[in-house]
């Protein structure tokens, strides 16, 4: 029996999985194999071994002037993280684990205790409907930085790409006009979307918006696709791959912030050694 595209990708992303079990299996993995000693040099070695990928598969860097100024002045940094944890279909409020992981990672990488992350979900939200929710959240929280997982629900609904891109671009412009820095995170990769031209076009539209608006971007799609091609347990199991994505995204966000403010990313003692 053939299933419609949205059901296939939704099934791939949300079938119940014990996070503890998945994390245990992932933690046993070594650095992705299939790379020569010379090839390993192109991987971003500042990340945990299981999250490493080439820089051009991980992020696009752009200025984060407000974040840079706040850190330079040693003032508290307030971050609003939008989107369900890992981008799960039908998820409600963002997982506290996502917010706490991101906060811990930012404190480690930015070498400051003064980071406060508020994680909010926008269940089932399309980009065209997001402005009201985001503007309300911004008014309430008054963040310095907004980290937005964008596009997954639009991809499942097969939203027209041009209006989608316009909605995202206008909202990013609005945030910038209110002196709020923005980082975009594109939708995740799974085997269900491999070779799907529409999905990849929507991911490309997000990258174009980031480029046009001067916004840093976490390439979650490319990163998970790269990790899926390695000889690891996560690469052979889509559910472990999504759990790995949930673990790695906070690291990717912290890394793109460190690079976008012109800083360095000091190794963490927990998992940075090769």
Q: pLDDT in tens for each of the 274 residues of the chain? A: 544 555 545 545 544 334 444 444 434 443 333 333 333 347 888 899 999 999 999 999 999 999 999 999 999 999 999 975 444 443 444 445 888 999 999 999 998 889 999 988 776 678 888 888 888 899 999 999 999 999 999 998 999 999 999 999 999 999 999 999 999 999 999 989 989 999 999 999 999 999 999 999 999 999 999 999 998 888 888 888 888 888 999 999 999 999 999 844 443 434 443 3
Question: In whole angstroms, what is the distance from residue 50 CA to residue 92 CA?
Answer: 28
Q: What is the CA radius of gyration of the chain?
A: 18
Residue 65 burial (C-beta neighbours within 10 Å; 0-12, 13-18, 19+) = middle
| Residue 205, pLDDT score | 97
Question: In whole angstroms, what is the distance from residue 150 CA to residue 207 CA?
Answer: 11
The model's pTM = 0.79
| Residue 31, pLDDT score | 38
Question: In whole angstroms, what is the distance from residue 250 CA to residue 254 CA?
Answer: 6
Residue 147: CB atoms within 10 A of its CB come to 27
Across the chain, the runs of DSSP E, i.e. the strands, are 59-60, 77-82, 115-120, 145-149, 181-185, 217-218
Spacing of C-alpha 190 from chain mean position: 14
224 close to 188: Cβ distance less than 8 angstroms: yes
148 close to 84: Cβ distance less than 8 angstroms: no
Q: Which residue, chain included where needed, has tokens 């065209």?
A: 128
| Residue 84, pLDDT score | 57
| Residue 43, pLDDT score | 87
**Strand ordering across the sheet containing 217-218:** 59-60, 217-218, 181-185, 145-149, 77-82, 115-120
| Residue 197, pLDDT score | 95
265 close to 253: Cβ distance less than 8 angstroms: no
| Residue 256, pLDDT score | 96
| Residue 168, pLDDT score | 95
């Amino acid at each position: 029996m053939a299933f419609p595209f949205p059901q296939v990708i939704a099934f791939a992303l949300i079938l119940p999985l014990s996070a503890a079990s998945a994390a245990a299996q992932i933690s046993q993995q070594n650095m992705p194999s299939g790379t020569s000693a010379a090839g390993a040099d192109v991987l971003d070695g500042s990340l945990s071994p299981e999250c490493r990928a080439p820089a051009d598969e991980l992020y696009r860097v752009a200025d984060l002037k407000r974040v840079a100024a706040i850190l330079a002045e040693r003032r508290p940094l307030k971050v609003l993280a939008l989107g369900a944890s890992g981008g799960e279909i039908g998820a409600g409020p963002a997982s506290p684990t996502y917010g706490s992981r991101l906060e811990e990672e930012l404190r480690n990488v930015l070498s400051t205790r003064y980071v406060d992350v508020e994680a909010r979900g926008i269940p089932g939200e399309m980009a065209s409907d997001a402005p009201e929710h985001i503007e309300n959240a911004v008014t309430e929280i008054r963040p310095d930085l907004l980290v937005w997982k964008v596009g997954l629900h639009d991809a499942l609904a097969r939203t027209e790409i041009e209006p989608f891109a316009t909605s995202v671009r206008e909202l990013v412009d609005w945030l910038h006009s209110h002196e709020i820095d923005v980082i975009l995170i594109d939708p995740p990769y799974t085997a269900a979307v491999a070779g799907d031209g529409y999905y990849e076009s929507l991911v490309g539209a997000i990258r174009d918006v980031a480029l046009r608006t001067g916004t840093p971007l976490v390439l979650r799609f490319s990163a998970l696709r790269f990790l899926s091609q390695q000889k690891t347990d996560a690469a052979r199991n889509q559910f472990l791959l999504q759990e790995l994505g949930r673990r790695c995204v906070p690291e990717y966000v912290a890394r793109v912030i460190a690079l976008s403010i012109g800083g360095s990313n000091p190794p963490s003692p927990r998992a940075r050694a090769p």
